[in-house]
Amino acid sequence: MKNKRILPPTYLFTTIALMVLLHWFVPILIFASYPWNLLGLIPLTAGTVLNLFANAALKNKHTTVKPFQKSTALITTGVYPISRHPMYLGMILILLGLAILMGSVSPLMVIPVFGVMLERIFISSEEGMLGEQFGAAWSSYKHRVRKWI
């Protein structure tokens, strides 16, 4: 049996569940109520669109969207000049938007932890694999484009 790894969407949905639980049971300082909490729709929408465009770019070049799998193409166009990891950035924006929609501080506290988990579990190994696979092209891209934004 192959070693199955937990993929980023599982971490995202688990984090969303944790944020909702924290908001319901430990709503530290309400900072945005209706209608101001609706401003959360902006990062939520931006994150969703960013993920959709990044996913489409990967699919268009017939390369994997799954971490830990070998990429067949280095994508540097579309949303990839904005961030080396636009899907992870999109996830952070989705979480930020949801936290603002909830309107309490407690869901916001989870977002940095999620970012650190992405860095340690996925980003560091992905960047190593891309460096091995694409060499100088990756190095050039890495120096031109920031990891997050």
pLDDT means over runs of 10, the chain (149 residues): 78 98 94 95 98 97 92 96 97 98 96 97 95 97 95
Residue 60 in domain:
yes
Three-class SS state of 30: strand
- The pTM for the full model equals 0.94
Cα distances (Å, whole numbers) of residue 49 to 31, 83, 113:
26, 14, 23
> What is the structure's pLDDT at 5?
86
> What is the structure's pLDDT at 1?
42
Domains in the chain: how many in total? Answer: 1
Residue 18 in domain:
yes
> What is the structure's pLDDT at 149?
87
Q: Which domain covers residue 41, as residue numbers?
A: 9-144
Distance CA 96, CA 46 (A): 11
Residue 4 in domain:
no
> What is the structure's pLDDT at 118?
97
Residue 66 in domain:
yes
